[in-house]
């Protein structure tokens, strides 16, 4: 029996509401792009806002909008009633909008040196995230250019100027890049405080949660782990490894509070009853025009639950949902201990 007047009981009750769970598209994306928010902005014609939402989660948005293997589209609830939203095509439309790259923000220097071996998407993402956190980064790449397998994508699909524009971020972050260099791993581990190995091929034992290897300070990820190339999963590996490296260097737990990193199953339920089936807007070879992108974005059903609201006149009148009102009614319990008569009155409803 839950005690609704107790903070523990409150949290148990609050946890029953799934309204604030991520939509399936966002949960399926290893980088957790806010697809719902991006499409809402696109649907009202605000391309700059949509691009800002996209760039918030993706460090190399021009590249990813062209090569992503789009797990979000496979999870799209719209696909249950018609065709799924053409999400990657809409990401590409966002990136074609005339909007500046957000300014690079870095934390104060931490005076710790980190080496990243491998200049593919996984290594690049780790470099971008750790450099923003204030670490001194050196990126080693055996080839004569960064990017790894992205160069296998045709120039029609991935224009080379987009690669140059995205990789310019490394200069803004003051990352030291050493091309045509294959360093000795043992020596690198001695010279740096932490190392991320993202070389693409090989066999190494890696913790699936933290990306730590058996050697302290050495982490590994990317295609090195899975044997096949997934652009978006490789980037997620780099991001999650960067979290672990940051924690390792700060001497805190590598495992605490790391649920739902990468792709995961959301608990959100969305009732599609009454939604008319519709096909995706036909996608031209060169991508959507602005008008076509808006029309396709407007097909998004903006997944949410709100099932309680349909049967509760109070919730329907005030446009709220249980989790929201539990917090509102009982917020005073986190400030002043004890019961309030108003709480008991509201509870009697």
**Residues 80-136: pLDDT tens digits?**
999 999 999 999 999 987 767 777 888 888 989 999 999 999 999 999 999 999 999
pTM for this one? 0.87
One domain for residues 246 and 334: no
One domain for residues 207 and 312: no
One domain for residues 72 and 117: no
Residue 257 lies in a domain: no
Residue 86 lies in a domain: yes
One domain for residues 120 and 230: yes
One domain for residues 173 and 238: yes
One domain for residues 131 and 246: yes
pLDDT-derived band at 240, boundaries 50, 70, 90:
very high
One domain for residues 157 and 241: yes
Residues in the chain: 349
Expressed as residue numbers, the domain containing 81 is 23-101+275-297
- Tokens 């994508």 identify what position? 153
One domain for residues 240 and 141: yes
Residue 292 lies in a domain: yes
Residue 206 lies in a domain: yes
Please give the average per-residue pLDDT across 212-227, as a whole number: 89
As a whole number of angstroms, the distance between CA 239 and CA 59 comes to: 10
Structural domain count of the chain: 3
pLDDT-derived band at 337, boundaries 50, 70, 90:
very low
Lowest mean pLDDT among 23-32, 63-72, 315-324, 333-342: 333-342
Mean pLDDT estimate for the chain: 89
One domain for residues 328 and 279: no
One domain for residues 242 and 126: yes
Residue 245 lies in a domain: yes
Give the tens place of pLDDT for each residue, 1-43.
555 556 777 777 777 888 889 999 999 999 999 999 999 999 9
One domain for residues 50 and 97: yes
Residue 261 lies in a domain: no
Residue 258 lies in a domain: no
One domain for residues 240 and 151: yes
Residue 155 lies in a domain: yes
């Amino acid at each position: 029996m839950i005690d609704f007047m107790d903070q523990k009981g409150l949290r148990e009750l609050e946890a029953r509401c799934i309204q604030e769970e991520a939509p399936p598209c966002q949960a399926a994306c290893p980088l957790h792009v806010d697809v719902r928010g991006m499409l809402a902005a696109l649907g009202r014609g605000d391309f700059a806002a949509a691009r800002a939402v996209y760039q918030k989660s993706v460090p190399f948005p021009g590249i990813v909008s062209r090569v992503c293997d789009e797990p979000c589209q496979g999870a799209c609830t719209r696909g249950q009633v018609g065709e799924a939203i053409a999400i990657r095509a809409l990401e590409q439309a966002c990136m074609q909008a005339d909007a500046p790259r957000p300014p690079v923000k870095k934390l104060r220097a931490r005076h710790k040196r980190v080496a990243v071996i491998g200049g593919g998407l996984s290594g690049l993402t780790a470099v971008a995230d750790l450099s923003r956190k204030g670490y001194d980064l050196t990126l080693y790449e055996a080839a004569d250019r960064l990017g790894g397998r992205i160069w296998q994508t045709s120039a029609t699909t991935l224009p080379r100027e987009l690669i140059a524009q995205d990789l310019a971020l490394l200069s803004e972050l003051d990352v030291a890049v050493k091309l045509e260099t294959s360093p000795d791993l043992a020596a690198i581990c001695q010279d740096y405080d932490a190392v991320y190995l993202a070389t693409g091929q090989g066999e190494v034992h890696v913790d699936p949660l933290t990306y730590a290897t058996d050697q302290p300070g050495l982490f590994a990820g990317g295609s090195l782990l899975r044997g096949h190339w997934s652009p978006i999963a490789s980037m997620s590996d780099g991001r999650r490894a960067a979290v672990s490296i940051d924690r390792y260097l700060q001497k805190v737990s590598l495992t605490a509070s790391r649920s739902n990193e990468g792709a995961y199953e959301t608990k959100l339920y969305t009732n599609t009853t009454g939604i008319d089936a519709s096909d995706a807007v036909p996608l031209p070879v060169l991508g959507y025009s602005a008008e076509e992108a808006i029309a396709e974005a407007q097909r998004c059903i903006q997944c949410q639950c709100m099932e309680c609201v349909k049967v509760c006149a109070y919730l329907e009148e005030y446009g709220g949902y249980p989790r929201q009102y539990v917090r509102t009614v009982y917020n005073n319990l986190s400030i002043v201990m004890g019961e309030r008569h108003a709480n008991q009155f509201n509870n009697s409803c």
